[in-house]
Amino acid sequence: MSVNGKGRVLGAAAVGLGALGAGELIAAARGGSLIDGAGRLLADTVPVPVVEAAVASAGEHDKEMARLGVVLGSAAATAGIAALPERLRQPAIAAFGAGAVATALRGTNRSVASALGGLAAAGVLRAGLRRTPPGLGASLLWAAAGTGLLAAAETLVRRDDRLHRERSRRVGPMGSGVPTPEDGFGTEPGLAPLITPAGKFYVADVNSRPPRIDPDHWRLSIRGQVAHPLRLSLRDLAEQAVEFDAVMVCVHNTAGSGRAGNARWFGVPLTSLLEHAMPEQGATRLVTRAVDGYTISLPLEPLRTGEWPGYLVIGMNGEPLPPEHGFPARVFVPGIYGQYSGAKWLAELELSDDSHVDYWWKRGWPSETLWVRPQARIDVASTGGSGSGKCTIAGVAWAPPQGVAAVEIRIDETDWLPVELGAELAPAAWRRWRTVVDLPPGAHTVQARVTGRSGEVQDGAVRPPFPQGPGGFHAVTVTV
Ligand SMILES: Nc1nc2c(c(=O)[nH]1)N[C@H]1C(S)=C(S)[C@@H](COP(=O)(O)O)O[C@H]1N2
Ligand SMILES: [Mo]
């Protein structure tokens, strides 16, 4: 490509940044976001193998990566439009505008402001691409203006997120907020705490940012195939809620990764809500539907009888759910992977028959409920710098809902050795473990495995998360 050609591409990309920045600022001024809408569109449409690869490589930064992808993608799309022959350019810009408006109106923070932002972005694009290519100076101006507008929009979005977070906290407390329970292990540097603070709890969902739900106007409706539909406020729910301790695990939690957390939840047993709503004969599934249409459904019968103890959760560690964890309400059934356990940002519980199809089923995930496989994680493996071979190995393990019976480690693929377990908080919670071993000099591989009370021994066969949940032992290397 000639320098001139390169300059043209970069100039058009700069115009794209400027257009997106202008549209995003208009959207953000009224609580919307073009970028978040497009991020959600990506999550909804990208093929599952790409989602899996992105989740595996982006780790905890998946949301930032998605937003960055939208910004760079818009710039690249603009360069593509600019490269079209003159007569196709206007229709392409019109299509871009229509796409932006459609995206704004389907997004999580769906708003008229976002749609206006989409129109504005298309208008700016049209003006900016009229004279191609912009010269170097003009390109730099466009790029600077785009970056500045995007930064201003981001500031507004963050301000609204912060205000929403403060408002959501004011509905609290949710639960007794009793001091952090103890398991006899105290604090061990590097070892996960018994209860994961909400701010450290993993976040996994298809949105770029949490939807903002006004607690004063929010009502949970229980509807569909029920004799007695219900509409409940947060206050109604808080009056019936109880506390329980349980580990929540993402189906993407491969050996040793951080997509698992243990919290003291506050929620209403689903048995009692279902008893009041009185499901009709034909109802077979409980559909948990989020404000943005995302659904996770569960078989009704075991929830109704309490064989699977599910909860409508409104609090975490004594506080209301933080926005990213589903404020004001979510459904959680301990022992079931998060992706199968219930929606965050709940709008309603719908009693339905088997014709219902869930969000992830359409994308190839199995329709049977996936139960958490027992897993042990090694958090600490250190000699403490004492110079001797004495090495502390410690971690957490879970086998919900029945609980952990034993944890073992092995060094360099020799025999499995039992370790000491911390006191059990609840069978569905995670349990901490530790041991001290004497290691000869050199590098050693330490592996851990858990046995559940059901008798299930953790399986060492390495499997990817899709489609049945991950498998394999966590292994770390210690050097003496
Ligand atoms: N509305 C909604 N609920 C959702 C999801 C989502 O994308 N949207 N993701 C599920 C998945 S995959 C997991 S692992 C848990 C994660 O909950 P957390 O982010 O509070 O840890 O929420 C579940 N509930
Ligand atoms: Mo998940």
Q: How much is the mean pLDDT over the chain?
A: 94
**pLDDT at residue number 178:** 64
Verify that 353 and 443 share a domain, yes or no: no
pLDDT at 144: 97
Is residue 368 included in any domain, yes or no? Answer: no
Shared domain for 215 and 305, answered yes or no, is: yes
pLDDT of res. 447: 98
Per-residue confidence (pLDDT) for residue 307, from 0 to 100: 98
Q: Residue 262's domain spans which residues?
A: 198-363
Residue 465's CATH number? 2.60.40.650
What CATH number corresponds to the domain at position 210?
3.90.420.10
Instruction: Looking at the structure, tell me whether residues 347 and 449 fall in a common domain.
Output: no
pLDDT for 1 equals: 43
Q: Pick from 363, 390, 414: which residue ends a domain? A: 363
Which residues, given as ranges, of the chain have pLDDT below 50?
1-2
Q: Are residues 275 and 390 in the same domain?
A: no
Do both 430 and 346 map to the same domain? no
Both 418 and 357 in one domain: the answer is no
129 and 222 assigned to the same domain = no
| pLDDT score for 109 | 64
**Closest C-alpha to ligand 1, atom 8:** 205
Of the bound ligands, which one is closest to the alpha carbon of residue 202?
A: 1
Instruction: Name the residue of 206, 344, 363, 365 whose CB sits within 8 Å of the most ligand 1 atoms, as the mutation to test its pocket.
Output: 344
CB count within 10 Å of CB 307 equals 10
pLDDT at residue 310 in the model: 98
Q: With residue 350 as reference, give the H or E element that holds it.
A: strand 346-352
In testing the pocket of ligand 1, which one of 42, 205, 206 has its CB within 8 Å of the most ligand atoms? Answer: 205
Burial 417-445 (b: 16+ CB within 10 A, else e): eebebbeebbbbbbbbbbbebebeeeebe
Residue 191: both structure tokens together: 């070892």
For residue 132, the model assigns a pLDDT of 60
Distance between CA atoms of residues 335 and 97, nearest Å:
45
**How many independent structural domains does the chain possess?**
3
CA quadruple 396, 397, 402, 407: dihedral positive or negative?
negative
Q: Examine residue 187 and state whether it is found in any structural domain, yes or no.
A: no
Closest-CA residue, ligand 1 atom 20, reads 325
Q: Sort strands 404-411 and 319-320 into parallel, antiparallel or unpaired.
A: unpaired
417 and 322 fall within a common domain: no
**Residue 64 domain-assigned?**
yes
Between the alpha carbon of residue 124 and those of residues 84, 130, 159, 185, the distances in Å are: 18, 10, 26, 61
Compute, in angstroms, the gap from residue 251 CA to the centroid of ligand 2: 5
Is residue 186 a part of any domain in this protein?
Answer: no
* Residue nearest atom 7 in ligand 1 by C-alpha distance: 205
DSSP 357-410: --TTGGGT--SSPPBPPPEEEEEEEE-TT-SSSEEEEEEEEE-TTT-EEEEEEE
Note whether residue 86 is domain-resident.
yes
Closest ligand, as measured to the CA of 465: 2
300 and 153 housed in the same domain: no
| Ligand 1 centre distance from Cα of residue 427 (Å) | 22
Q: What is the pLDDT of residues 334-365, one digit of tens each?
A: 999 999 999 999 999 999 999 999 999 999 99
445 and 309 fall within a common domain: no
Both 228 and 91 in a single domain?
Answer: no
* Helix, strand or coil, per DSSP, at residue 168: helix
Please indicate, yes or no, whether residues 347 and 386 belong to a single structural domain of this protein.
no
Q: Is the peptide bond before 465 cis (omega within 30 degrees of 0)?
A: no
For ligand 1, whether the C-beta of 343 sits within 6 Å is yes
Predicted pLDDT at 128: 93
Residue 174 belongs to some domain of the structure: no
pLDDT in tens, 411-460: 999 999 999 999 999 999 999 999 999 999 999 999 999 999 999 999 99
